[in-house]
Chains A and B, each alone.
Chain A
Amino acid sequence: NAGVMQNPRHLVRRRGQEARLRCSPMKGHSHVYWYRQLPEEGLKFMVYLQKENIIDESGMPKERFSAEFPKEGPSILRIQQVVRGDSAAYFCASSQFGGTNSEQYFGPGTRLTVT
């Protein structure tokens, strides 16, 4: 039973380019969460999605960032016109249920470097 899959594991982008990060949840999980870990900082929640719905995006920067979880395929976190401050590790987690007692399982992360 594969865990949460994220790709790519490492991504290098120049300033102004777009970054696309992919997350495939665990089998049977329909709830996906994205978190960001900036250098020397803790993990911060970004967005919570169910299939085809954004449930909570209170942690997403207002500009340049978007997320989707289509009916088919992985969840995508998209960062447009990247800047150096976007360099971070981006983690995806999934859960089977959406209730607050549902345990979240994390992927290995995508490490984004903006040059």
Chain B
Amino acid sequence: KQEVTQIPAALSVPEGENLVLNCSFTDSAIYNLQWFRQDPGKGLTSLLLIQSSQREQTSGRLNASLDKSSGRSTLYIAASQPGDSATYLCAVVNNNAGNMLTFGGGTRLMVKP
């Protein structure tokens, strides 16, 4: 059974810092990994999707890497801003598990002005 873990559970940084969020998964037989952002009381916004054959994806100040063999992904946020404050979730789709996403518990990020 796939388990997804995100560390740290919460993170507070001053504005302008570069930061890394971590995601690990126990079963490396995945099709893809997705990073989402969730604002309080709101839905999920997809940030980046990495296919299993890819090593990284970039969008603006965000860069996500994937090391499938070791079961790890990182989300790098450059030059953080207060507007980046949110919960960040990673989720994987497993081989032979249909199309369901298995989510980690999330990292709550606070960027202080």
Docked Cα-Cα span, A24 to B91, in Å, equals 23
Cβ A101 vs Cβ B98 within 8 A: no
- A33 in the interface, Cβ–Cβ < 8 Å? yes
B65 at the interface (CB under 8 A from A): no
Contact of A107 among B43, B95, B101 (CB under 8 A): B43
- Which residue from B42, B51, B106 sits with its C-beta under 8 Å from A42? B106
B43 to chain A, nearest CB (A): 4
Number of residues from A at the complex interface, CB < 8 A = 31
B59 at the interface (CB under 8 A from A): no
Contact of A12 with B by CB under 8 A: no
**Using a CB-CB cutoff of 8 Å, which residues 98-113 of chain B contact chain A?**
98-106
For the A-B complex, the count of residue pairs with Cβ-Cβ distances under 8 Å equals: 70
Q: Does A25 contact B (CB under 8 A)?
A: no
In which size bucket is the chain B interface?
Answer: 20 to 34
Segment at the interface with B among A43-51, A68-76, A79-87 = A43-51
Q: Distance (Å) between the CB of A39 and the closest chain B CB? A: 13
A43 x B93 contact (CB < 8 A)? no
B51 surroundings in chain A (CB, below 8 A): 101
Pick the most buried of A45, A48, A58, A98: most chain B CB atoms within 10 A of its CB: A45
A105 touching B106 by the CB < 8 A rule?
no
Q: Which residues of A contact B32 (CB under 8 A)?
A: 100-101
Cβ contact of B98, chosen from A41, A44, A48, A107, cutoff 8 A: A48
Is B46 an interface residue, CB under 8 A from the partner? yes
B34 near A56 with CB under 8 A, answer no
Q: Does the CB pair B42–A101 fall under 8 Å? A: no
- Return chain A residues, CB-CB under 8 Å to B41: 111
Q: What separation, in Å, do the CA atoms of A77 and B49 have in the docked complex?
A: 27
Q: Are A103 and B31 in contact (CB under 8 A)?
A: no
Neighbouring B residues of A56 by C-beta, 8 Å: 98-100
Of all chain B residues, the one with the shortest Cβ separation from A55 is: B98
Cβ distance A25 to chain B, nearest Cβ, rounded Å:
14
Render A87-105 as a binary contact track against B, CB cut-off 8 A, 1 for contact.
Answer: 0000101010011111111
Please list the residues of chain B having a beta carbon within 8 angstroms of any beta carbon in chain A: 31-32, 34, 36, 41-46, 49, 51, 89, 91, 93, 95, 98-106
